[in-house]
């Protein structure tokens, strides 16, 4: 009798197990592409080196020197020091070279601190990372291990250098687009710097470029032709990698007064300076004044003071008159 009372329960369990087996057989296996609906986690883009430099400067320098300017909707750091004079001569906008910060030694940082004592406002810009032909590969730092030491990153195969384009073949469209976008980013920051000095009622605004920053300053004036910028200072001029517009072609388009500071210790610098001088002699513009400097690698303080004194003399003679 006991066995008969439990028969329906056993029968129910058998029916349920049978229905589950039939359902499993009838359900088609998931396709290979449908096994994982979730997309693989995408890494956030690494911050630019220039942004990291700007963050470091924000921690190191007084807040009164820092200005967050807007360049076409993007905020960036500029370093501002007002002139130590009730009647300032004007403002000098310093444009650092590639791989330099807005306070880079020995040139940009020293000049921005010394110029206010000579009656000039100084505004030093920070530029975006360079976008030339051969950019270094940026790798994120490996996470720290449990013992506090950085974990060793797995060895990665070095990227193969891009093969040069055959003669007569145009550069890649992607590279050209990246360089064109970089030009606009640089120009937007210079625009923002000029607008800021205008808000400070600077009567004279001078663009000063160091290294490849001299190229950007000259190219900005040649292409944008700002009516309120009539003075340009070039210090140790260099051509940015990957940008083919020859510097002397830009120089030939300028109508500004140009102070050309170069280091005569280098044969290549002397030859390039001679070419710029001959170009200015063949035409009325630009009004170019060259100033040769000694590099003095063993005496950085003396070298900085030499450049500042020569620059101050050029500013007083060619860009003065605000008083």
The predicted structure's pLDDT at residue 157: 40
Q: What's the mean pLDDT when you consider all of the chain?
A: 82
| 100 token code pair | 């330099």
Confidence class of residue 221 from pLDDT cuts 50, 70 and 90?
very high
Report whether pLDDT(161) > 60: no
The predicted structure's pLDDT at residue 233: 98
The larger pLDDT score, comparing residue 114 to residue 176, is at 114
pLDDT in tens, 255-272: 999 999 999 999 999 999
Cβ proximity of 89 and 323 under 8 Å:
yes
Quick one: 63-129+173-319 is in which CATH superfamily? Alpha/Beta hydrolase fold, catalytic domain (3.40.50.1820)
The helix/strand/coil state of 185 is helix
| 302 token code pair | 């003396």
Cβ proximity of 231 and 239 under 8 Å:
no
Report whether pLDDT(164) > 50: no
Output the CA–CA distances (angstroms, integers) from residue 224 to 187, 201, 255, in the order listed.
9, 21, 12
| 156 token code pair | 């990665």
Kind plus residue range of the DSSP H or E element containing 194: helix 173-199
Q: Tell me the average pLDDT across 61-71.
A: 97
Closest CA to 119 of 84, 92, 93: 84
Kindly report the pTM of this predicted structure: 0.76
The predicted structure's pLDDT at residue 242: 87
Give residue 145's Cα distance to chain centre. Answer: 32
The helix/strand/coil state of 262 is strand
The helix/strand/coil state of 229 is strand
The predicted structure's pLDDT at residue 155: 43
Q: Tell me the average pLDDT across 191-212.
A: 97
Confidence class of residue 17 from pLDDT cuts 50, 70 and 90?
low
Domain locations in the chain? 63-129+173-319
Q: Tell me the average pLDDT across 175-179.
A: 89
Q: Per residue in 274-292, is it b (16+ CB within 10 Å) or e — as a string?
A: eebeebbeeeeebebeebe
Q: Tell me the average pLDDT across 165-175.
A: 57
The predicted structure's pLDDT at residue 10: 52
Give residue 159's Cα distance to chain centre. Answer: 23
Angle at 99 between CA 65 and CA 294, to 5 degrees: 85
pLDDT in tens, 292-314: 999 998 999 999 999 999 999 99
């Amino acid at each position: 009798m006991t066995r008969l009372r439990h028969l329906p329960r056993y029968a129910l369990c058998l029916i349920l197990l049978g229905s589950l087996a039939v359902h499993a057989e009838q359900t088609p296996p998931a396709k290979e592409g449908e096994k994982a609906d979730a997309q693989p986690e995408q890494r956030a883009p690494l911050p630019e080196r220039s942004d990291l430099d700007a963050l470091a400067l924000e921690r190191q320098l007084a807040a009164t020197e820092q200005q967050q300017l807007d360049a076409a909707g993007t905020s960036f750091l500029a370093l501002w020091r007002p002139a130590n004079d009730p009647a300032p001569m004007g403002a000098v906008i310093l444009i650092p070279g590639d791989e330099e910060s807005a306070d880079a030694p020995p040139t940009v940082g020293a000049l921005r601190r010394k110029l206010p004592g000579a009656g000039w406002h100084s505004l030093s810009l920070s530029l975006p990372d360079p976008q030339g032909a051969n950019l270094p590969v940026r790798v994120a730092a490996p996470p720290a291990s449990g013992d506090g030491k950085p974990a060793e990153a797995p060895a990665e195969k070095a990227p193969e250098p891009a093969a040069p384009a055959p003669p007569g073949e145009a550069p890649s469209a992607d590279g050209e687009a990246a360089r064109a976008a970089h030009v606009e980013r640089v120009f937007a920051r210079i625009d923002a710097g000029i607008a800021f000095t205008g808000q400070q009622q600077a009567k004279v605004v001078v663009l000063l470029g160091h290294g490849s920053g001299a190229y950007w300053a000259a190219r900005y004036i040649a292409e944008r032709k700002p009516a309120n910028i009539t003075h340009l200072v070039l210090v140790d001029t260099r051509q940015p990698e990957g940008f083919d517009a020859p510097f002397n072609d830009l120089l030939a388009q300028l109508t500004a007064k140009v102070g050309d500071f170069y280091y005569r210790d280098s044969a290549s610098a002397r030859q390039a300076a001679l070419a710029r001088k001959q170009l200015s002699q063949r035409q009325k513009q630009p009004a170019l004044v060259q100033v040769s400097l000694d590099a003095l690698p063993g005496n950085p303080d003396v070298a900085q003071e030499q450049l500042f004194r020569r620059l101050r003399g050029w500013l007083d003679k060619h860009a003065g008159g605000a008083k």
